[in-house]
Every structure is written in C-alpha cells, then in structure tokens.
Amino acid sequence: QKEVEQDPGPLSVPEGAIVSLNCTYSNSAFQYFMWYRQYSRKGPELLMYTYSSGNKEDGRFTAQVDKSSKYISLFIRDSQPSDSATYLCAMSDRGAQKLVFGQGTRLTINP
C-alpha cells in the first residue's frame, strides 16, 4: 500500500464548476500538507501549504486537512481553463523535509 493515495483521474469539468481533489494517507506522523500544480512538462508550483488539521483559503482555492480520517482535499471554485493541469498532493512528517507525493490528478477545465 502506498503511503499517499491520489486518484489519477483524468477529471474533466466545465468552466465555472467547483472542483474537489482528494488524497488519503496512511502515515499518522504526517503533519505538513501541500498541494502543488504542475503544468505539462514543467516543475511543480506550490499552491497551498497547511500545518496539521483545519482549513486554509487563498482566493479560489481552499485546502482542508482531516488528520483523524487521514484525508486531505483541495477545492477550486469558479474553475477556469487556465486551471487545467496535474494537481499533486504532498506531505511530510517534519517541516519541509522529505516530501511524499501522491500520483497526481490530471484536471481539464472545458470552456
């Protein structure tokens, strides 16, 4: 069993829809949770960073962490075609040490 599980998709939604992306994990020591966006053939770009449980909002993006369920989510409101990319969840047991990534979910927003 992988430490971090992420549905690879692909996920295709119409422009303006609310997108929900999720990851589950097995290592209860994880405390730091991140979402990265990766455009085709580019490096990952940090979107959201969360420590421990709770919600964090930044513009159209909301990250949620539920440590009791070992489940994290990223919500994208009013999705745009420019949001089309692969979204990677990542986590670590100590701040900014070794990151363990999910497989990535490929998202397409259709105009």
Partner 1 sequence: DAGVTQSPTHLIKTRGQQVTLRCSPKSGHDTVSWYQQALGQGPQFIFQYYEEEERQRGNFPDRFSGHQFPNYSSELNVNALLLGDSALYLCASRENRAGNTIYFGEGSWLTVV
Q: By the criterion CB under 8 A, which residues form the site for partner 1?
A: 4, 6, 8, 32, 34, 36, 41-46, 49, 51, 88, 90, 95-104
**Cβ-defined contacts of 77-80 (< 8 Å, 24+):** 77/18, 78/16, 78/18, 79/13, 79/15, 79/16, 79/17, 79/18, 79/19, 79/109, 80/15, 80/109
Cβ 43 to partner 1, closest distance in Å? 4
Cβ 46 to partner 1, closest distance in Å? 6
Q: Rounded distance, CA 107 to CA 97, Å?
A: 27
By beta-carbon proximity to partner 1, the closer residue of 68 and 98 is: 98
By beta-carbon proximity to partner 1, the closer residue of 10 and 16 is: 10
Cβ 25 to partner 1, closest distance in Å? 12
C-beta of residue 35 within 8 angstroms of C-beta of residue 89: yes
By beta-carbon proximity to partner 1, the closer residue of 30 and 36 is: 36
